Amino acid sequence: MTKFILPAAVAALAVLAAPAAVFAAESSQSVRAATDAAAGSVAINAGKMLYSSNGQRVAAIYRVTADGNPQVILNGKLVTVPASTLSDVNGKVTTSLTKIELGRAK
């Protein structure tokens, strides 16, 4: 009888852990899909220039976070730009925020 307890316990744990693993995979996929949908067809890469909606150059994109938000160095401060504010205007990565608004970001 004791020979079956260990395999039964392992099987029970596997059944309990499987939904958590599936949920984690679905969550990360849905986050990525939401980020991609928010960013649309904007190609966000480190080194590309970020422009404000009035066409003014803001700064070069320093890096892109795991959730798809570009980061720029503005006035010596690392600023994260929300991906939801980005669009592609004539092949340029453009944010709906102004340079002043980005400078005030915390």
pLDDT digits (tens, 9 = 90+) for 44-59: 899 999 999 888 999 9
CA distances from 10 to 2, 19, 24, 101 (A): 13, 15, 21, 55
Which tokens sit at 73? Answer: 């160095």
- Show the tokens assigned to 81: 């730009």
Does pLDDT of 31 surpass 50?
Answer: no
Question: What is the band of 69 on the pLDDT scale with cuts at 50, 70, 90?
Answer: very high
Domain count, the chain: 1
As given in the structure block, the two tokens for residue 51 are 């422009």
Average pLDDT over residues 75-89: 93
Residue 6 counted as domain residue: no
Has residue 24 been placed in a domain? no
34 domain residue, yes or no? no
pTM assigned to the model: 0.59
CATH number, position 56? 2.30.30
Q: How confident is the model at residue 22 (pLDDT cuts 50, 70, 90)?
A: very low
Task: Give the range of the structural domain holding residue 67, as residue numbers without chain letter.
Answer: 49-104
